[in-house]
Structure 1
Amino acid sequence: MFRIKNLFLLMAFGPGLVWAIDLQPNDIVAPLPNKNYITVSYLNTENNTLYKNGAAEAGSPVIDTQSAIFRGTRTYDMGNLPAASFIQLPYGSINPKGSLANQASDTGVGDLTFATAIWPYSNRSTRTYFGLAAYLISPTGSYSSQRSFNVGENRFRTDLQMGFQTPITSNVDGMIAVDTMWFGGNSQCGLACTRSLTTTASLNQKPLTTTQLGPIYRINQIFTVAASYFYVAGGATSINNSYQNNVVNTQRFLLSGQAHTPIGRFSLQYGRDMEIKNGFVQTRVLAVRLAKEF
């Protein structure tokens, strides 16, 4: 039977949510200034078997999440450098099933994200770009200490990311990006940390670093495909200053396709975990997006 004492792994690692700041094909390409974009995304994920230090725990947990994500982006010049800022708000649900079916689900607004990116180096003639980005994720989402599964995390998060993209062949570019996420504390971690509806604990988490890399193939003026490999490390948690020995060590992949149409840019992504040390393994992530200039 699945043991509820391990639910703190869910609180810390957020199954169904992307740990890294996942990049789509050509996100590292510097944008043209004075443009406005609206992006609407739908994400569907499934997580199941819980792993603890590389060993699968007993039980058959299933965690389904669905999210609609709305993003508004503005591009501009910062001095002589290309730059962009966006604000992003998700709305979604998280539903425990299987051996977690007795746990409450949650539906509501997620955590609001603010981000700004700048490109210290941008050369369109050689298709070579180097960008830096900073993210602030605020605790605006639905949260209750009496639920183990919440859409929001009830803590601030910040992330710094750098990315580099350059040609490999005439139609193929290579990209690599590294980001580190820092976590604020959650002093109201209840059922997920204490197994109690009336008692709360303080949850803290070490920084989490993700490396993502892969090729981007431009088929023609309309279609682009890409493949990305991710390695995620760090992120161990403490509950009331008690170390939980649950370092993240995850490898996963993500396949992407894009189509540039008169309606806008359609994107489709599919991925899953390949190897995991701690947490609920992600067996599916499916993302559909439409980005449109206005």
Structure 2
Amino acid sequence: MIRSFKDIVLAIVCALFAGSSAWAADVNSGDYLPAPAGTNLLVFYSQYATRDEYVTASGQTISNGTGLDSYVNILRYVHYFDIGGFTVAPQVLIPAGTLYNGRLGGASFDAAAGLGDPILATTVWVVNNKASQTYIGIMPYLFLPVGQYSAGEVLNLGENRWKLDLQAGWYQGLTNGVALQLTGDVIWYGDNGRAGNGTQTLSQDPTYQLQAWLSYAFAPTWSAAVGYSQFWGGTEYLAGVPTGNETERSQVRLELSKFITPTFQVLGLVQRDVATSGGFPEAFRGTVRLLQVF
């Protein structure tokens, strides 16, 4: 029975946590506000998440003897420059962490630890209007399949497949420190030829995501924001057979940030899934982000 449980959840566990892929498409409330050309950012994320149930694509909830915890750190470097009248920000993200306390219906899974799939990304602002506080950018993320992956294991930090996330974002300053940010993503997945029992092929339909943030700079160095995210799509197939796993998720978010100095910011973020189909809902996810400008 454990073997069948492992086959059932292998795909979604990898998809959710390889290189913190759920995070990779995520944005904070001011990410589409560009910095001046020549600016560099060094960003460190430390993220803990816990889950205590699994919801099938048909709506069945498995909670007894079920859960999964994760602790992921991500180091990110960003450089801004102007080219051809556009502001551009190439960047690299390197995730590493551990997945532990994995279990489904009483069946336990070995923990995994190590490097996740590194991510290369570049933001190009096609609209950069400081006067109207209107900014529109396009950002592709490319996931490199070099993270920790052990064929036949349920929990892995890497996905053993290429992945491309194309994201577009719009940041609009409103009035009195209030701003709205909207982003949309489409994610395409390559095949993992070492899934399931280690010799089967895992494929996945594209995933889509919409995110919304409403932020308020209530003091010169403080900002707070509320957010919402909606995932859908992403039906998975193992050896050509649907696994019942998807990427359906609704999530609410709260964010608070402060610049301790003019060049150093601390940000805290809490998130919770309010509806999930075909996966492990996050009962809680907490993130601390440290950002250094130089």
Whether TM exceeds 0.5 here: the answer is yes
Residue type at the aligned position of 2:273: D
| Cα deviation code 1:61-103 (max 9, x no counterpart) | 1211111111111110121111101111111001034556732
Gaps in structure 1 of 5+ consecutive residues: none
Match of 2:80, SS state, is strand
Contact kept, 8 Å, 1:111 with 1:137, in 2: the verdict is yes
Q: Which residue matches 2:94?
A: 89
1:4 aligns with 2:6: yes
| Cα deviation code 1:31-80 (max 9, x no counterpart) | 21011111111011112211112120353212111111111111101211
Residue type at the aligned position of 1:293: V
Gaps in structure 2 of 5+ consecutive residues: none
Match of 1:7, SS state, is helix
1:286 aligns with 2:286: yes
The 1:5/1:143 distance shift into structure 2, 3 A limit, reads closer
Q: Residues 188-227 of structure 1 correspond to what in structure 2 (within 5 A)?
A: 188-189=194-195, 193-194=196-197, 199-227=198-226
Q: Which residue matches 2:44?
A: 40
Q: Residues 142-161 of structure 1 correspond to what in structure 2 (within 5 A)?
A: 142-161=148-167
Residue type at the aligned position of 1:146: G
User: 2-side partners of 1:107 and 1:230: how far apart?
Assistant: 27
After the TM superposition, which of the residue ranges 90-99 and 74-83 deviates more from structure 2? 90-99
Displacement after TM superposition at 1:218 (Å): 0.8
TM-score, normalised on structure 1? 0.91
TM-score, normalised on structure 2? 0.91
Aligned-pair identity (%) = 23
After the TM superposition, which of the residue ranges 37-46 and 242-251 deviates more from structure 2? 242-251
**RMSD over aligned Cα atoms:** 1.9
The 1:127/1:258 distance shift into structure 2, 3 A limit, reads same
Displacement after TM superposition at 1:237 (Å): 0.6
User: 2-side partners of 1:163 and 1:69: how far apart?
Assistant: 22
Q: Which residue matches 2:147?
A: 141
How many residue pairs get aligned? The number is 287
Displacement after TM superposition at 1:9 (Å): 4.5
Displacement after TM superposition at 1:240 (Å): 1.0
User: 1-side partners of 2:213 and 2:293: how far apart?
Assistant: 27
| Cα deviation code 1:142-198 (max 9, x no counterpart) | 110131101111111111111112133322111110011111110001xxx24xxxx
